[in-house]
Structure formats: structure tokens, C-alpha cells
Amino acid sequence: MTTNDVAERVFNFSAGPAVMPLSVLQQVQRDLLSLPGCGASIMEISHRSKQFDAIHLDAQQRLRALLSIPDNYKILFLQGGSRLQFSMVPMNLLRGTGLTADYILTGSWGSNALKEAVKEGQTRKLWDGKATNYDRLPAEGELQVNPGAAYVHITSNETIEGVQFVTEPDTGDVPLVCDSSSDFLCRPVPVSRYGMIYACAQKNAGPSGLTVVIIREDLLERSRDELPGYLNYRVHAENDSMWNTPCTIGIYVFGLITRWLQEEIGGLAKMKQLNEEKAKLLYEVLDASPGFYQGHARPDCRSLMNVTFRLPNPDLEKAFLSEASKRRLDGLKGHRSVGGIRASIYNAMPMEGVTGLRDFMVEFRDRNAGK
Amino acid sequence: MTTNDVAERVFNFSAGPAVMPLSVLQQVQRDLLSLPGCGASIMEISHRSKQFDAIHLDAQQRLRALLSIPDNYKILFLQGGSRLQFSMVPMNLLRGTGLTADYILTGSWGSNALKEAVKEGQTRKLWDGKATNYDRLPAEGELQVNPGAAYVHITSNETIEGVQFVTEPDTGDVPLVCDSSSDFLCRPVPVSRYGMIYACAQKNAGPSGLTVVIIREDLLERSRDELPGYLNYRVHAENDSMWNTPCTIGIYVFGLITRWLQEEIGGLAKMKQLNEEKAKLLYEVLDASPGFYQGHARPDCRSLMNVTFRLPNPDLEKAFLSEASKRRLDGLKGHRSVGGIRASIYNAMPMEGVTGLRDFMVEFRDRNAGK
């Protein structure tokens, strides 16, 4: 590693794969040819070696500590991203139950999850925010949970729309299943209120190729033997994620990130506070720029992770992106399905990146407002 | 990177994840904080960025060149390993056809593939080498291919037993589907004789977490819309492997390995020659040590990748592994299901590793034979 590499780095506001902690990248780099005491790269060692066993166990224990995961929940490290979970959730938890799965749609990813679920069994839109273009959460009294549902599915943070649940909806005894791909580990979460939480790693938790699943043990009983082996949660749980070769470098980097959260950040409560401070800097600019920066999400459900907004016209958006890039503020283009601007400020985005963007936004607005 | 890291490295005979070319690891290490001109790590950049587009295209083109893949074949980069392919192959190519899929079993992995296929449709064991504990290939005249079969499945190299096909069985017009996980890119292959070739990356082609699929376009028509999105080859082909976020670091490293094969090795014909030279060194010791080193596979189907053998008793095997490890010859323990010794000498195992093992085997034999 040279100082130059660090100096070259931009502020990366990409929605995922996304920015990682510099100290984590530096450790990956330092040990890439030979893990200490191992004589081989993390990409070369067997997933059944004692060295990898230790890495795997450490990652699990740190995650369990960070989220205070109760003992009756299993941690699985899988592949295939959230997209495969969109199918695995209903294949395991709905098929054969004779029940209906309820989906709460607060954005594009929840809708994609439902599209896969309908192939696997009976589903219902418990709530759909489409009428206002996914800018809000269900209001009090709007959710009529079916107490006999197989599960209720939510997407805790919608990256495209920038809408985030503030707290869990109350689903009573019905298992709450949460796609937490884009806000995993951004704050403490009461795991015991969930039946299952899943997340692809490439936003807050590692490189793409790794998917983390936290599942309550009693739900594993729903997985039937007829399921394809790789798609069966119970098979993975019984084999501690080693039924097949997992994404070993993903688990390794995930472990380093959980250590960074514990030892450098100081835990998830502190992480949440930092995320709130960062998000506030940008939302304050939106609020102070009516008619120029138009935020998408309503203020009471604004995402801590993805700040989405539009400028008065596409030309200004283009100029905004181009000038930002020259200031080393990269990856700000909104999702291709909705356009506009999206600043993804995940855990690892440093405060300097956010203040740099904030300053640019103010300056750009002052220079272009009214044009 | 320091010289120490290189000096620390052992010779890693692990069956997978497995040894990688040192020059590839060095490049990954060098650019880990910032890809040249990019300002971010390969683990941080968007899979839809122009930088990643270039990496993805380069990897595809190099693979196409190395294997002379005809234009009517698609290259897909997926996740989930061979285990997920064991299910995806019959889900896509068998379900709904009303046909039977034929499996040729030359070892443990082929048998595992069949276990998943029976869940998806009608299957048949076209040939099973179990009677002689998977030490041989089908002899001439033993294969009665059903001309109406959905496909014929083979495992070109069985890592556990160390048995490798020398050439493709003739399946006429029936698509030949090949799990080439453990001998992918070890030699030239006439791709047009296959309907589909798949391989997890973690032996010859990259880190675990990446799976490469090469599929003839007409077979994509068999994939039905009802399939879960992630499990549908047609969906991945139509989206050039970007339907969801692929394992980006896997594709990147895969690209570096294909470049190494082209530019440092000189192509697959040369790679085959080197692999034959390496394997010969070890098999010669087996042949010269009757009663001491007992090879598993019959000589006419010995794997170029995995040299499997037993010693006269478990105590000697234990001593062999322990002494080898002291000489920095690591990962030689046979698969937990069969025991014994397995020397995996994939593409990236340097000649010095093999001569080191050969010398140790001779010395160990001379010291222990007759005890």
C-alpha cells in the first residue's frame, strides 16, 4: 500500500457495491498474499481449514454481539443476494403451509420481492405505497395484519426511493421477515421482534457475493426435504453454512467490518448516531432549498442511508453530477428506474465525504437557483 | 506487499478454495485500495459503473478466446457454486419437458448432482461407477445414450476420487451438460460438443462465490417464466449477468486469471502440457511404489488436477501429512468422506511445489517402506 492509493480515493456515494472502511481495505490488502500464520491468501485457503473455521466463528460471534442476537436464532452465510432470498423466503416459509404471505410494499425492492413470492404460494399486498410513488410508510391504523399469515415481509430501507422504516410494524405472533439489505447494521435492531432478517452484504457489510441470513430456529422446521438443497435454510443451518463452499472472502471481509463496527465505531448505537448526523447535513440542505432540491421521501421516513432528490430539470441534474465528479464526489446518479440524484451514505461513508457533498450542494444551488 | 509475504507462502495442495497465481494475487493486492483511474476498490464500485463494465467485458472476451467459445454460446457469471447448479440444471433443462435426464456417475460429485435432479423431474443413471468405488470411466460400448433424453450430465473431473474424463462421451444430438468445476480451463475443450459447461471458480478460476456458466443459446428457450428469477438461465442471459449484483470481486479475479492464462502461460494447450508434466511427476512415484502408495484412479483416467492415494495404514498417513506440513506442503489431507491423501495440483500450483512434494514422497517412502 502506498500513500498515493489513499490520496487517489474518491468519495464513493454508490448505492452498492459501496464504500468500505479504509482500515478494513488496508487490512485486506496487507494480508492478501498470506494471512498471518497461514502462508496462503484468504482466497486460497480451504473453507474447512482451521484458519477459516476461526474466521467464520469470529464473524458470527461479532455479529451476534453487535445485534444482541438471541441464542434461538441461527446465522447463515449464503450467496445469490437479496434476489435469491426473494425466492428462498417463500420457498421455505410459505410453500406447503396452506397459508398466505403478507407483503408491505414501501418501494421497488419490496415489489420485486413480492413478484417472486407469487410464484411460490398465496400472497397478499398488506399495504402498498405505490399511489404516492413510494414516498411514505403505512400510517397508524393502515395495517390490518392477518393473524394467520405465514409471515409479513418488509423492506426496512428502500434504496431507490430513500424510504426507511423508523421502527418495526407490529405483526403480533406472525413472523416478521425483513429485507435489510441496504440498512443492515446501520443501527441497533430488536432481533427478537423478527422471524428472519436477511441482507446482501454489498452496502454495509462486505463485498457482493455474500448474503447474511438471521433466522429464528423454529422457522427452520418449515423447510421441506423436497426443496433443492441449496435453497433449503434448514440444510444450511444444520451444516453451519458449510453444506457447500461459501463465499470465503465475503465472510472474511464481513468479519473485519463487524470488528470495525465494534472497535473503531464503538457499536451500533454509536453508528446510528453518526448516521443520523451525516443524514441530517444533507436533508437540511433539501429543506433549505425549496423548489431547487426536491426530496423524494416524506420527512418522517427519510432514509439514513440513501438521500434521494431531484433538481428542477434534467440539465441541472446532469451538470450537478458532472461537477460533483470533478470534486471527487462519485456515484451520485439516481437509480436508472427513477433518475435524479441519490447520495448513498452508508456506515463507511466518512463525515468528510458528507460535508464535502453538503458544501457542494449549497454552492451549486446558490450558483444555479432561479436559472 | 513485502518480500516477507511471498517468503511466508506455503505450497497449497488444497482441493478448493485453492492456490492462485502469485502474480494475480499481487495485482489484486496492489490495486485493492484504488483500481487504476477509479479511485475506489474493486469491492466498492458499482456493478453498473463503466469501470466494472470494462472488467466484465474483458473477462468474457478472454474466456471466449481461451476456450474458442462459439458465438451461439452465452457466458454467465452466477453465484451459489456447483451445488446450486445441481438444481438449476434440471430446473431449467428438464422441468416441463416431459423427458428424462441421463446422469453418468464417475464419482461423488456426479452422485450429488443426481440427488438434486431427482427432485426436479425424471432421471436415469446412464452409468454408475460405484461398483468399483469410482475408480474408472465408462468403457467403450457401456454407454447406451437415450436419443430422446433431455440432456446427459457428466462431471469431467471428480476431485474426491481423482478420476477425470479424457475426452467427451459421444451423446449425439442430446445436449451434454458438464460440471467442470475442478478442471475448468486446465486444457482446451471443444465447447461445441457441449450444451452447457459450468464451474465454480474456486479451483482453477478465482475465489469461491463465483460460478461460471457457458450455455448454448437454444437451450435458454427451455427456461420457463414460472421459475424463480434468480434460478432462470434465460433471465441472467437476457441481462448479461446483471439481473442482480453479481460477485464483482470474483469476476475481477477471474478476469485476471484468464489474462494470466493467456499472457503468462500462453494459452490452454500450453496449460495442458504443464499440467501433464506436473501430474506425471506424482503418478510416477505411485507407480514406482507398489504396496506403499496406492493410487485410487485407474491409470487411464487419472486426474491431472487431483492425485489421490493411500498409504499402508492410517498412522503412516498421519505421519505423512504432519511431515509434509513441516516442509510447507499443505492441504494434502484427502476428502473427509474417503480419507487418505489428495494432492490437488491445479493450474496455479507451481512446478516447484510438485517437485517438492515428489521429493518428499520418495524420501518418506524410502524411510518408511516395510515398517
pLDDT tens sequence across A179-230: 999 999 999 999 999 999 999 999 999 999 999 999 999 999 999 999 999 9
In a 13 Å sphere around the CA of B323, the CA atoms on its Cβ side amount to 17
Residues 6+ apart with CB under 8 A from B35: B41, B42, B45, B51
**Given A6, A43, A116, which is nearest B33 (Cβ)?**
A6
Separation of alpha carbons B308 and A68, rounded Å: 45
What are A56's three cell numbers? 467464520
B249 touches chain A (CB under 8 A): yes
Q: What is the dihedral of CA B274, B155, B190, B199, to 10 degrees?
A: -80
Query: Which has the higher per-residue pLDDT, A140 or A114?
Result: A114
Separation of alpha carbons A167 and A221, rounded Å: 28
Nearest CA in chain A to B46: A17
Whether the ipTM is more than 0.90: the answer is yes
Whether residue A233 contacts residue A220, with contact meaning beta carbons closer than 8 Å, is answered with yes
Residue type at B133?
A: N
Nearest to residue B310, comparing CAs of B345, B346, B339, B287?
B339
Sign of the alpha-carbon dihedral angle for B15, B21, B24, B30: positive
**Given B43, B210, B228, which is nearest A87 (Cβ)?**
B228
Residue type at B152?
A: V
pLDDT of residue B2: 54
Angstrom distances, CA of residue A162 to CA of A241, A330, A364, B17, B304: 32, 18, 22, 38, 53
Averaged pLDDT, B55-66: 98
Separation of alpha carbons A295 and A340, rounded Å: 10
A305 touches chain B (CB under 8 A): no
Separation of alpha carbons A348 and A22, rounded Å: 8
Separation of alpha carbons A223 and B370, rounded Å: 53
Residues of B recognised as catalytic: 109, 179, 203
- Cis status, amide bond into B17, omega within 30 of 0: yes
Cross-chain Cβ contact A16/B41 below 8 Å: no
pLDDT greater than 50 at residue B174:
yes
Angstrom distances, CA of residue B185 to CA of B73, B105, B166, B190, B252: 17, 22, 14, 12, 17
Measured between beta carbons, the chain A residues lying within 8 angstroms of B86 are 228-230
Marked catalytic residue, from A102, A135, A179, A183: A179
Burial (Cβ within 10 Å: 0-12, 13-18, ≥19) of residue A280: middle
Angstrom distances, CA of residue B28 to CA of A28, A165, A270, B23, B346: 10, 38, 33, 9, 20
Angstrom distances, CA of residue A201 to CA of A110, B38, B50, B113, B350: 18, 22, 22, 28, 34
Q: Is A31 a catalytic residue?
A: no
A190 touches chain B (CB under 8 A): no
Measured between beta carbons, the chain A residues lying within 8 angstroms of B89 are none
Instruction: Read off the DSSP letter of residue B9.
Output: P
Task: Give the containing element (helix H, strand E) for B179.
Answer: strand B176-179
Cross-chain Cβ contact A79/B249 below 8 Å: no
Residue B86 Cα, gap to closest chain A Cα (Å): 9
Architecture of domain B26-264: 3-Layer(aba) Sandwich (3.40)
pLDDT greater than 60 at residue B100:
yes
Measured between beta carbons, the chain B residues lying within 8 angstroms of A330 are 39-40
Please list the residues that pair with B333 across neighbouring strands. Answer: B341
Averaged pLDDT, B199-218: 98
Q: Tell me the pLDDT band of A266, cut-offs 50, 70 and 90.
A: very high
pLDDT of residue A4: 59
Task: Give the containing element (helix H, strand E) for A358.
Answer: helix A351-368
Which of A19, A41, A202, A251 has the most B C-beta neighbours within 10 Å, making it the best mutation to test the interface with B? A41
Cross-chain Cβ contact A10/B40 below 8 Å: yes
Residue B6 Cα, gap to closest chain A Cα (Å): 7
**Given B20, B43, B226, which is nearest A44 (Cβ)?**
B20
Residue B27 Cα, gap to closest chain A Cα (Å): 10
Measured between beta carbons, the chain A residues lying within 8 angstroms of B339 are none
A:6-35 residues touching chain B, CB 8 A cutoff: 6, 8-10, 12, 14-20, 22, 25-26, 28-29, 32-34
Q: What is the mean pLDDT of chain A?
A: 96
Q: Is A109 a catalytic residue?
A: yes
Taken as a whole, chain A contains a residue count of: 371
Strand A294-295, strand A196-200: pairing: unpaired
Q: Tell me the pLDDT band of B164, cut-offs 50, 70 and 90.
A: very high
Lowest mean pLDDT among A299-303, B163-167, B205-209, B335-339: B335-339
pLDDT greater than 90 at residue B266:
yes
* pLDDT above 90: percentage of residues in chain A: 95
CATH 3.40.640.10, chain B: domain bounds: 26-264
pLDDT greater than 80 at residue B239:
yes
Looking at the whole model, is its pTM more than 0.90?
yes
Cross-chain Cβ contact B328/A39 below 8 Å: yes
Task: Give the containing element (helix H, strand E) for B341.
Answer: strand B341-344
Residue type at B164?
A: Q
Separation of alpha carbons A5 and A24, rounded Å: 14
Whether residue A109 contacts residue A179, with contact meaning beta carbons closer than 8 Å, is answered with yes
B:122-181 residues touching chain A, CB 8 A cutoff: none
pLDDT greater than 50 at residue A1:
no
pLDDT greater than 60 at residue B1:
no
CATH 3.90.1150.10, chain A: domain bounds: 267-368
Separation of alpha carbons A341 and A192, rounded Å: 36
Cross-chain Cβ contact A229/B115 below 8 Å: yes
Instruction: Read off the DSSP letter of residue B78.
Output: E
Task: Give the containing element (helix H, strand E) for A51.
Answer: helix A50-66
**pLDDT tens digits, B4-19:** 678 889 999 999 999 9
Torsion angles phi and psi, residue B7, rounded to 5: -65, -30
B:308-347 residues touching chain A, CB 8 A cutoff: 328, 330-331, 336
Burial (Cβ within 10 Å: 0-12, 13-18, ≥19) of residue A295: buried
Marked catalytic residue, from A109, A260, A278, A333: A109
Cross-chain Cβ contact A208/B17 below 8 Å: no
pLDDT of residue B186: 98
Measured between beta carbons, the chain B residues lying within 8 angstroms of A16 are 46, 245
Separation of alpha carbons B147 and A117, rounded Å: 37
**pLDDT tens digits, A280-337:** 999 999 999 999 999 999 999 999 999 999 999 999 999 999 999 999 999 999 987 7
B:57-86 residues touching chain A, CB 8 A cutoff: 79-84, 86
Please list the residues that pair with B152 across neighbouring strands. Answer: B102, B176
**pLDDT tens digits, B128-156:** 999 999 999 999 899 999 999 999 999 99
Torsion angles phi and psi, residue A83, rounded to 5: -55, -40
Cross-chain Cβ contact B248/A17 below 8 Å: yes
CATH number of the B267-368 domain: 3.90.1150.10
pLDDT of residue B4: 60
End-to-end CA distance of chain B: 46
How many other C-beta atoms are found inside a 10 Å radius of the C-beta of residue B336?
A: 8
Cross-chain Cβ contact A230/B44 below 8 Å: no
Residue A143 Cα, gap to closest chain B Cα (Å): 28
Whether residue A98 contacts residue A120, with contact meaning beta carbons closer than 8 Å, is answered with no
Cross-chain Cβ contact B43/A253 below 8 Å: yes
**pLDDT tens digits, B18-28:** 999 999 999 99
End-to-end CA distance of chain A: 46
- Cis status, amide bond into A138, omega within 30 of 0: no
Averaged pLDDT, B271-292: 97
Nearest CA in chain A to B16: A46
A224 touches chain B (CB under 8 A): no
Whether residue B337 contacts residue B109, with contact meaning beta carbons closer than 8 Å, is answered with no
Residue A325 Cα, gap to closest chain B Cα (Å): 11
Measured between beta carbons, the chain A residues lying within 8 angstroms of B336 are 48
Cross-chain Cβ contact A44/B14 below 8 Å: yes
pLDDT greater than 90 at residue A258:
yes
pLDDT of residue A2: 53
Nearest to residue B155, comparing CAs of B112, B193, B124?
B112
How many other C-beta atoms are found inside a 10 Å radius of the C-beta of residue B192?
A: 12
Residue B332 Cα, gap to closest chain A Cα (Å): 11
B120 touches chain A (CB under 8 A): yes
Averaged pLDDT, A68-78: 98
Whether residue A161 contacts residue A134, with contact meaning beta carbons closer than 8 Å, is answered with yes
**Given B45, B227, B229, which is nearest A83 (Cβ)?**
B229
